Amino acid sequence: MKLQSFFSTRTYRSLFLTLAIAWFANCGGTATATETANANIGTPGHYMAAIPYKQANRYFVKNDYTGATFSAIKITSAEEFDKIFGKAAVAGSQGKPTPIDFTKQYVLAVIGESTDNNTTIKVASLKKTGGEILLTYKVNKGAKVSYTLQPALILLVDNKYTGTVRSQKL
């Protein structure tokens, strides 16, 4: 059998087509969350728009807090906020807690687990896509300290940005 006649056979064409389809199907691999989000940009209902926020300072997590850790909590009232956080004012003009006006804004908070490491939670992004608000954050674990702390990230968001809140730790 000549090589030219082999390539023109039906069997070869079927085998080639099957391998080509299998290769293209596996070519993409598994997409990361960022790739998936970026792929959705520009499609109706999936555009990811950045949401402006202000970080609140000079608050601490109360010792009796037993709620969720490392997930976004949406707080819409001063009463609810005061159950979780206390004010940590210090002397000087920069020492006052950030004022919160719940008639105009709500709080998105991420509370870490109690630790004896100097730990901070930083915002990577706050975006809206369709009916969902996605808070992406990073936890930075520092050196050991001689006391226990419970890290928290407190963001103030305008009430016009509504949706189901979801968080993602990087």
Let me know if residue 145 belongs to a domain.
yes
| pTM of the shown model | 0.71
Whether 19 and 78 map to the same domain: the answer is no
State residue 90's pLDDT score: 86
Taking only the tens place, the pLDDT of each residue in 22-34 is 443 444 433 333 3
Residues 109 and 163 in one domain: yes
Statement to judge: residues 93 and 15 lie in one domain:
no
pLDDT per residue over 69-119, tens digit each?
898 999 999 999 999 999 998 888 788 999 999 999 999 999 999 999 999
Same domain, 94 and 14: no
The pLDDT score that the predictor gives to residue 36 is 38
Cβ proximity of 142 and 98 under 8 Å: no
Residue 35 forms part of a structural domain: no
Q: Does one domain contain both 99 and 156? A: yes
Number of domains in the chain: 2
Domain residues for 11? 3-30
Percent of the chain surpassing pLDDT 90: 64
Identify whether residues 11 and 91 lie together within a single domain: no
Cα dihedral sign for 83, 84, 85, 86? Answer: positive
Are 96 and 132 a contacting pair, CB within 8 Å?
no
Phi, psi for 158 (deg, rounded to 5): -60, 140
Interval 129-161: pLDDT, tens: 889 999 999 999 999 999 999 999 999 999 999
Examine the domain organization and report whether 90 and 22 are in the same domain: no
Residue 17 placed within a domain? yes
Give the whole-angstrom CA distance, residue 61 versus residue 122: 16
